[in-house]
Amino acid sequence: MATLEQSQAVYEVCPRLVPLNRQQTCWDGLICVKGQDLHLRIELPDDRDHRRAKLLGDWLLNQHLRSYRHLIGQRLQNTPDLATFLSELKNILEHTMQHQSEASKSQPSVTMATQCSQVIGDIGRLGWEKLSSIDPSFSSLQLISEGPNGSKHYITVHLDPQHPVVAPTCTTDLPGETLELHWTHQSTLADIYTQFEESLGKYREFWDTVAEIDEQTWVLEPERPMPSDRSRRIALGNNSSVQVTVDPLYPKMLPEFKFLGADHVINPMRDKLNANLKDWDTGRSLLSNLKTLLDIQFPSPQSSSREDFSEECGICYSYRLEGAIPDRACDNPQCNKPYHYSCLYEWLSSLPSGHQTISKYGFNTIFGNCPYCDVPIKIKRENNR
């Protein structure tokens, strides 16, 4: 951030905090919290990186800073600039001052202030390195756990205003059900974290299974698989692919399959898989079973390039259209042109020769001709699109 921009942004948060030098590496003045002025001095390194700032102040401010130093240090690392940090610092100071004034009145009720100090104590006992982020109102925070293969997993904990009497709600990146939290009035963040890590353990085999697929095949969808993604669309060859949906708790069991592409390519594969299903061996990995049962070598990053499998749609000339990739193809082996479902559906519906019929293919099948080779092509309406 340029110095002028920085000083304007700081001025808006703390109008009485001023730079003492032209480089704006030293700031001095007052920060006003709950109507009270506290003396604050900020020393920045020469590159003005606020993450390495030193905070100094009068004894009152120092007292507040000391009791919340972990949180303040954490916010210093995670805010994008000095002004944002200052506004979060004000927020934290407001909480601490509120907490102290209420503690002095010795109110027994669960107030926001006692809740926030409890949360901070909880994080301290859990370990600050496990905190990934916290919102300034202390009502939600994100914890991080590192898997054995270096993968990172997150749990977001939303605290109820009645915390800890009412259990928090959690969202995770786990592939299975949402985390069923066991919670009592005495539970702490450490208990949540333990339960989260136990759940992570249950999915280890699942992540190994999908990691093998991600490394050894071309995964067309999702574009960047997340730890919670159970499905993979794996390239089989030119404009044909198979989508597998893995059971996260039993990843070596037979997954759900969906073949996509031109009939003349995928039908023989589907038949071969169905004929060999009895040979599915749960002692082996999913990918190794797939290779054996289909009797093919999947195209892999070691043997081919991604462009070989990302041919654009023959109608809209793009590969990705509103997140979808071409998953239909002309059935004429000499043509094989790929299309998005929506493009082909619209194209055939708009043709004067296109007609919808009740046929052996079922209700709402549209017939027409391939825009490229003019050979008959059909598409079945899918209700979920």
Which residues are near Zn ion by CB under 5 A? 313, 315-316, 321, 330, 332, 335, 337, 340, 343, 370, 372-373
Closest CB to Zn ion among 362 and 376? 376
Min separation Cβ 272 and Zn ion, Å: 25
Helix (H), strand (E), coil (C) string for the chain: CCHHHHHHHHHHHCCCEEECCCCCCEEEEEEEECCEEEEEEEECCCCCCHHHCEEEECHHHHHHHHHCHHHHHHHHHHCCCHHHHHHHHHHHHHHHHHHHHHHHCCCCCCCHHHHHHHHHHHHHHHCHHHEEEECCCCCEEEEEEECCCCCEEEEEEECCCCCCCCCCEEEECCCCCCCCCCCCCCCCHHHHHHHHHHHHHHCHHHHHHHHHHHHHCCEEECCCCCCCCCEEEEEEECCEEEEEECCCCCCCCCCEEEEECCHHHHHHHHHHHHHHHHHCCCCCCHHHHHHHHHCCCCCCCCCCCHHHHCCCCCCCCCCCECCECCCEECCCCCCCCEECHHHHHHHHHHCCCCEEEEECCEEEEEEEECCCCCCEEEEECCCCC
Closest CB to Zn ion among 210 and 315? 315
Min separation Cβ 332 and Zn ion, Å: 5
Closest CB to Zn ion among 295 and 346? 346
Min separation Cβ 323 and Zn ion, Å: 12
Closest CB to Zn ion among 113 and 370? 370
Closest CB to Zn ion among 294 and 324? 324
Min separation Cβ 327 and Zn ion, Å: 10
Min separation Cβ 230 and Zn ion, Å: 26
Closest CB to Zn ion among 302 and 334? 334
Closest CB to Zn ion among 269 and 313? 313
Closest CB to Zn ion among 213 and 330? 330
End-to-end CA, the chain: 46
